[in-house]
Amino acid sequence: MVIVETIGEWKKFMVEFEKSDSVVIPIQCDVNKHPVDTELCLLYVKLLGESLTEYMLAFRHSDSINLPSKYIELTKTTKEVFTYDKKKLLHFVSWKNITDLQMYYYMVKNQPLLIDDVTTNAHDYFYTKYYKVKNINCAIPLMKHLQWCRKLLERLKVTIFLKPASKSVFRIYNDVVIENLQHIENNGIQIVDKMVYSEYNPYTATGRPSNRFGGLNFAALNKKDGSRKQFISRFGKDGMLVEMDYDAYHLRLIGDVIGYEFPEGSVHEHMAEFYGVDYDEAKGLSFQYLYGHIPDDVLKTNPFFNKVQKYIDKTWKSYKSNNFIESDIYNKKIYRKNLSDMNKNKVFNYLIQLLETESNMRMLTDLIPKVDEYRSEIILYSYDSFLFDFYMPDGLNFLYEMKKIIEQKGKFPVKVGKGSNYHEMNDITEKFVD
């Protein structure tokens, strides 16, 4: 193992780094903080060429002379880099050639590759005894970090024998999904006295990302207890929060797949006419039928749910015949061997959540580069809504552009709300009606 501490040693390392693919593991200074909110302590690199040499690049560790922080960005390679957590690594470097081995495992097993039990006695001791100490990784002996990295490599070896059904689908999830989520995480969310960061987990059973960090479940923030008041704009008097929320998103998504065209206006008002009830009751009934049993009388009188039932029957038959669920957009497969207690409606619910996630990811791929042209930031994605920290000097044209992209050529209309905080949001949808 070579410890890289000086500029001369770094230059020699860079020559070797460019010769072969490698495994790279970042070790952040503060294990209790989000990667965006701390510094890089060490960077472990194992070359996969003939030499199999291990390197430890030191940036902020007490056992070594440390490289200047600018050398983090200067450290790059055109060869392929493998890592356990691409999203985490991207918070420290801006490389484009990273393969996430956890995603590789997930695409085959439909579950995360867990590493909680990968540890050393030294790490257990320091994390338990000094759990309140900041930047504790900088004090844990460097050789113990090396030991931990080697143990992690052993765990990652299981991915060598796995073969995702489609390398092209894997690349979409590796590049599009992970990078979109990392971008949003990186922007942070301003609360009264500091910036906080979300952490998306795409390795869920249905593929729908969860989102929690630091004791906060960002995907399920309470709308009634006032806790959302703490979320404000980073731009002070020049900013506000703006949320764009899809209207009847799942109904419209499924309608798009089955070829049912809803009329202009409210989906729930359209469905209320079939049910003979008011808006609120129609909304409840539609979701009840979509995620549960569709009664015979509804099948006979409602053309949308008649098509939905045919789609459910078709996908269930396909699942039993092919032994997998396949998403409608990216063609991701979830294999029967990785699922349990499946039935018609459960298969359909999986497909809805996959459809929602992949539709959002496809849209975010167009949205994020456009947002980057402005000072405003997209700061939260929650299933059917997108929260912006709007820098008002960007002008209303920014919001019009974002709304146009999110609505995906008008197929999925959104409601727009604004507020000085995330609790007191006022509906301004009508301001965007041509």
pLDDT digits (tens, 9 = 90+) for 361-404: 999 999 999 999 999 999 999 999 999 999 999 999 999 999 99
What pLDDT is stored for residue 431 in this prediction? 86
What pLDDT is stored for residue 434 in this prediction? 62
Domains within the chain, CATH numbers bracketed: 2-163 (3.30.420), 187-434 (3.30.70.370)
Q: Is 48 helix (H, G, I), strand (E, B) or coil?
A: coil
Phi-psi region of 140 (alpha: psi -120 to 50; beta: other; left: phi over 0): beta
Between CA 267 and CA 384 the distance in angstroms is 15
Between CA 254 and CA 408 the distance in angstroms is 15
With bands split at pLDDT 50, 70 and 90, how would you rate the model's confidence at 55?
A: very high
Q: What is the pLDDT of residues 89-124, one digit of tens each?
A: 999 999 989 999 999 999 999 999 999 999 999 999
Q: Name 388's bridge partners.
A: 242, 378
**pTM summary value:** 0.94
Give the residue-averaged pLDDT of 312-317.
Answer: 96
* CB-CB contact of 127 with 118 (8 Å): no
Phi, psi values for residue 409, rounded to 5°: 60, 35
The one-character DSSP state at 31 is T
Q: Which long-range contacts (CB under 8 A, 24 or more apart) does 150-155 make?
A: 151/118, 151/119, 151/120, 152/25, 152/84, 152/115, 152/118, 153/23, 153/46, 155/113, 155/115, 155/118
Between CA 194 and CA 372 the distance in angstroms is 22
Q: What is the pLDDT of residues 153-199, one digit of tens each?
A: 999 999 988 988 899 999 999 999 999 999 999 999 999 889 999 99
Tokens of 374: 């402005």
Between CA 215 and CA 191 the distance in angstroms is 15
Residue 304 has pLDDT above 80, yes or no: yes
- Token pair 């703006």: residue: 242
Q: What is the pLDDT of residues 190-244, one digit of tens each?
A: 998 899 999 999 999 999 999 999 889 999 999 899 889 999 999 999 999 999 9
Nearest CA to 112 out of 64, 50, 155, 67 is that of: 155
Give the residue-averaged pLDDT of 232-258.
Answer: 97
What pLDDT is stored for residue 161 in this prediction? 85
With bands split at pLDDT 50, 70 and 90, how would you rate the model's confidence at 50?
A: confident
What pLDDT is stored for residue 57 in this prediction? 98
Between CA 48 and CA 24 the distance in angstroms is 11
* CB-CB contact of 148 with 120 (8 Å): yes
The pLDDT mean for the chain works out to 95
Q: How far is CA 135 from CA 39, 246, 387, in A?
A: 9, 41, 31
* CB-CB contact of 174 with 99 (8 Å): yes
